[in-house]
Amino acid sequence: MKKKMFCLGILFLFACDLSLNAQQTMSVIPPIVHDYATATKDFPVVDVHRECATIRYDSHDYKGVIRAINDLHKDIERVTGAKTNVSADAVSGKYEIIIGTLGKSKVIDALAASGKIKLRN
């Protein structure tokens, strides 16, 4: 019995040591937000100043699409700590993430009609 308790104690201390080492090596993981010059086609969801791109959608789109947009909004906040704006209206901002379904989103339909989105059959 004493031998089992001793072995369990050693295993517990080993597990605690691994846990502490894992906490100390977090600096090895690269940062989520990078501070470097961007190329012309780079698109920051969240920039180094924690300013977020606005998520824009059409309120008449499918319920599943709107739910996915809300999930994306929550995920960005959980990962970066920054809150994105989610809007069904036209907004002005430096960057926008436009999400929608062809035929259900006026913005997506307008982008397709102007040739900015290439459609395939």
* Residue 24 is assigned to a structural domain of this protein: no
Domain, as residue range, for 58: 40-121
* Residue 3 is assigned to a structural domain of this protein: no
pLDDT at 33 over 80: no
pLDDT, one tens digit per residue, over 59-106 is: 999 999 999 999 999 999 988 888 888 888 877 678 888 999 999 999
* Residue 63 is assigned to a structural domain of this protein: yes
* Residue 103 is assigned to a structural domain of this protein: yes
Amino acid at 101: T
What's 67's domain CATH number?
3.30.379.10
Report pTM. Answer: 0.63
7, 102, 111, 107: which is closest to 55 by C-alpha?
107
Stretch among 22-26, 37-41, 50-54, 115-119 having the lowest mean pLDDT: 22-26
Q: What is the mean pLDDT of the chain?
A: 78
* Residue 22 is assigned to a structural domain of this protein: no
* Residue 10 is assigned to a structural domain of this protein: no
Which residue's entry shows tokens 């309120």?
59
CB atoms within 10 A of CB 8: 10
- How many domains in the chain? 1
Stretch among 31-35, 45-49, 83-87 having the lowest mean pLDDT: 31-35
* Residue 112 is assigned to a structural domain of this protein: yes
